[in-house]
Amino acid sequence: MCLGNSLPVTETWGPPRLVALDIDGTILREGQPVSPRVLTAIANAVAGGTPVVLATGRSVFSTRPVLTQLGLVAGEVVCSNGAVRMDMATGEFRAVHDFDAAPVVNQLGELLPGAMFAVERLTVGNLLTSGLLPSQVEPEWLRHVDLVTLVAEPTTRLTLFWEGHTAEELSVQLNGTVLAGVTYNLDPVGPWMVAVAEGITKAAALEQLRAELEIPIEDTLAVGDGTNDIEMLRWAGRGVAMGQAPDIVKEAAHEVTGTFDEDGLASILERWF
């Protein structure tokens, strides 16, 4: 099946020289182990010498256990929708983009009464406002703080949850609202929003890494399923959407693979590895 840029599946392309993979809904589901088939496909790509870069909306703290599951120990990982690049071997932060969350939280608080917030602090973990459960954001390294403490320092990622509302209600209420100094994505399923510094995306971080590695853009592969993957799929030489992805994500891709339950990621990687 082909959508988006409409490169035919049968076209001679590859193997990719850089592989960028979303985590949730692409590699795994929260609380479940990685499928053996997907695990093998990723391991084969790494064994073949191809850089495999996880590009996720997750924080660094929540991403590290996934690296362990996959056995990834070298290269880089892109976290917080592109706001953080980390060296997997050393834990060194190669790039960090933060922003002042205070004006954004004030603006959103007026637009979305009752909204709850969380922010990422690289050396601390995530801080969240009262009412928001740790399990609703990410289970690792979380503590409740008041709103003043939440926005006292710059953050790499701001998360919003509008309890008691739907994803559609959140989208309608925001209605394309411009939030100064940030780029944000809305969850298509739940009343969630994630904001990072303006201009920061998975694609922007991957492009910087690609240029450093001197890999031609046409030799890059990206696979994802979320609205925060749209720029990444358009950026890649070959962008592949998971089968369960929303239509807007599929339309950004060159190709649509099988669903998560069908090991759609593995079926793509197995073409070359």
CATH architecture classification, 102-197: 2-Layer Sandwich (3.30)
Q: Which residue has the higher pLDDT, 48 or 144?
A: 48
Instruction: Band the pLDDT of 141: cuts 50, 70, 90.
Output: low
- pLDDT for residue 130: 78
Nearest to 236, CA basis, from 13, 11, 1, 12: 13
**Could you give the angle at which helices 36-47 and 60-70 cross, rounded to 10 degrees?**
80
Helix (H, G, I), strand (E, B) or coil at 245: coil
Q: Indicate the class that CATH gives domain 18-96+201-269.
A: alpha beta
Helix (H, G, I), strand (E, B) or coil at 10: coil
Q: Map out the domains of the chain as residue ranges.
A: 18-96+201-269, 102-197
**Hey, what amino acid is at 236?**
A
Q: Please indicate, yes or no, whether the overall pTM of this predicted structure exceeds 0.95.
A: no
Flag whether pLDDT at 257 surpasses 50: yes
Q: What is the DSSP code string of 39-83?
A: HHHHHHHHHTT--EEEB-SS-HHHHHHHHHHHT--SSEEEEGGGT
Share the mean pLDDT of the chain.
Answer: 91
Q: Which residue has the higher pLDDT, 143 or 66?
A: 66
- pLDDT for residue 3: 42
- pLDDT for residue 135: 57
How large a percentage of the chain has pLDDT more than 90? 79
Distance CA 31, CA 122 (A): 23
- pLDDT for residue 4: 43
- pLDDT for residue 11: 62
- pLDDT for residue 128: 87
Q: Which residue has the higher pLDDT, 123 or 10?
A: 123
pLDDT digits (tens, 9 = 90+) for 4-24: 444 444 468 989 999 999 999
Q: How would you classify residue 75: left for phi > 0, otherwise alpha for psi between -120 and 50, otherwise beta?
A: left
- pLDDT for residue 129: 87
Flag whether pLDDT at 102 surpasses 70: yes
Mean pLDDT value of segment 206-224: 98
- pLDDT for residue 5: 45
